[in-house]
Amino acid sequence: MAEERETRNAVFQQPPPGVDPRMPTTTAADKVKADFGIDIPLETVPLPSAGRVYPDSSALHNVETVEIRAMTAREEDILTSKALLKKGTVITELIRSCLIDKAINPNELLTGDRNALMVAIRITGYGPEYDAELQCTECDQRAPRVFDLGALPIKRLAINPVAPGMNLFEFTLPYTKKVVKFKFITGMDEVDIMSTSEKQKKLGLPSETNVTTNLLYSIVGIAGIEDRAKIANFVRMMPARDSLALRNYIRDNEPGITMKQEVTCPSCGHSEEVSMPIGVSFFWPSAGR
């Protein structure tokens, strides 16, 4: 229980002693402070992966926390950019804009690390309260529920990669007994998945299901075979028992933010733990009101 308490309410982490979390680092921030006497706050955000999956050539190698600048009107412009929305890179550019260390590539981040930064950035912009409409499983009534983003638990990386500084892990399939090497999906993978899906739609081709697509992007090798065409054939013919076991193992061990919270139905008073839906009001709170 003590360990669980330590991982909760940890979207932001206090900076080390002697480090000024509000130190301006950009020329624009300097000018705003000089002209208006306003500091643009900085926040320290823990990475669920603790940087253990990034190579030593990466700015993220063994980095447990990163600093972000609080969200401003400049980031709101990014969120409304039609070009970025069309490309599917809005979140990537939002994270890039708020990161203090510009050597960090947001596309390199694991999805779980990106989610941690996304939640933290949203909190700096609009606060920790997030309203989303949900249907009660008890009375079937739809009503707004309030989520506390600042209390979302961080799920730390609990398994070891095959080697330090590698986003590569092993799992033995229970039915075929084949050893699978897999990785956790990154920001670049997300962009590729979205781009491929859009191209298939434009060509009138059937798009892959989420199950198959995610497995194809996650699996790096099977029984020592790394040929992508052979892996694709195996994935399509993989016994359902093996597919489910692998997907569950990846899901259960993927570092990130647990997007679940207990909420109470205002109509009947029923309390339940639900997955937090990410809608338009996540970055535009007034849009849902």
* Tokens coding 159: 């398994």
H-state helical runs in 203-282: 210-218, 228-237, 240-253
* pLDDT score of 3: 46
CA atoms within 13 A on the CB side of 210: 3
What pLDDT does 5 receive?
A: 39
- Would you state the torsion angle of the CA atoms of residues 49, 55, 56, 61, taken in this order, to the nearest 10 degrees? -20
What is residue 219's predicted lDDT score, i.e. its pLDDT?
Answer: 97
Task: Report the distance separating Cα 53 and Cα 164, nearest Å.
Answer: 7
Name residues of the chain where pLDDT drops below 50.
Answer: 1-9, 16-17, 19, 21, 24-25, 27, 288-289
**Smallest Cα–Cα separation from 25: which of 123, 103, 99, 107?**
99
Backbone angles phi, psi at 164, to 5 degrees: -55, 140
Query: Cβ of 154: how many Cβ atoms within 10 Å?
Result: 22
Q: Which of 195, 194, 209 is nearest to 247 (CA)?
A: 209
Q: Taking the model in full, what pTM does it have?
A: 0.81
For residue range 17-31, list pLDDT tens digits in order: 454 545 544 546 666
**Quick one: DSSP state of residue 149?**
G
Cβ distance 168 to 220 under 8 Å? yes
- Tokens of residue 261, six digits: 């919270």
